[in-house]
Structure 1
Amino acid sequence: MSRLAYQYVVLRCVPRVDREEFLNVGVVVYCQAADYLQVGWQVDDTRLRALDPRLDVDQVRDALRFVEGVCAGDDRGGAAAGHPIGQRFGFLKAPKSTVIQPGPVHGGVTADPADQLRHLLGCLVG
């Protein structure tokens, strides 16, 4: 069984940047050797609204759907989706001052990037 190097970032919802509070809402996994770039996400309305009752949770979901489009390389991801897979991951891991922000890049090895995404999503978001 071959072991493949991968990188991942946790996506955080930061409803109010001034308070520096966040909730993990997704994980992006990139494995160059497997040509794999996917996001898994889960939005808990109640927990997000505890941070900011005025938060537009539908806007958070729209932002995560945009990330899905970037990963898939389809129209949902706008211009960023048209780039090679490594550049798309670079776009997603770049710091942003929006409601959805990536955390630091982490790495590891796995035999199955999709299974690793499910594992990380369960541990870090779910």
Structure 2
Amino acid sequence: MTARLAYQYVVLRCVPRVEREEFLNVGVVVYCQATDYLGVAWNADRDRLLALDPRLDVDQVCDALAYVEAICAGDPRGGAAAAQPLGQRFGFLKAPKSTVLQPGPVHGGVTADPPRQLERLLTQLVG
């Protein structure tokens, strides 16, 4: 029988105009402590984002998502957060921020394969 591992995840939302409380899911971050896994997958659909707000700087959203990738990977481009242990990096990424890219609530589950679960969540929640 395959081991079932607990994991947590947050959906990353693009919120172009906070006052309107409209958002589009653009990514997912998965953290599995048991396997020392922290990963992100994202899809910033330019047409859908611009339909939400034609003035949105989509390149800026992509840069913010690349920053999240760097933090997950422990890449120096992620700054001081990228140098922290995985659990603290996930804590940083799941903390609410008042920027265009915001994390949703933390959810959990079990999986035998955290990277595969990340891809499933991306397909299911982002498209």
Q: CA contact under 8 A between 1:6 and 1:110: conserved in structure 2?
A: yes
String of CA shifts for 1:31-90, please: whole Å, max 9, x gaps: 000000000000111111111101000000000000000000112211110100000000
* Identity across matched positions, percent: 79
| Runs of at least 4 residues off by over 3 Å | none
Structure 2 CA distance for aligned equivalents of residues 7 and 110 of structure 1: 10
1:119 maps to what in 2?
A: 120
Q: CA contact under 8 A between 1:68 and 1:76: conserved in structure 2?
A: no
RMSD of aligned Cα (Å): 0.5
5+ residue gaps, structure 2, are none
User: 5 Å matches for 1:11-30?
Assistant: 11-30=12-31
Q: CA contact under 8 A between 1:65 and 1:76: conserved in structure 2?
A: no
2:66 maps to what in 1?
A: 65
> How many residues in Structure 1 have an aligned counterpart in Structure 2?
126
Structure 2 CA distance for aligned equivalents of residues 37 and 90 of structure 1: 11
- TM, length-normalised to structure 1: 0.99
Structure 2 CA distance for aligned equivalents of residues 74 and 44 of structure 1: 25
1:55 maps to what in 2?
A: 56
**Alignment-mate amino acid for residue 71 of structure 1:** C
Structure 2 CA distance for aligned equivalents of residues 67 and 88 of structure 1: 10
Task: Please identify, of 74-83 and 99-108, the stretch whose mean Cα deviation from structure 2 is larger.
Answer: 74-83
1:78 maps to what in 2?
A: 79
2:37 maps to what in 1?
A: 36
Structure 2 CA distance for aligned equivalents of residues 103 and 37 of structure 1: 17
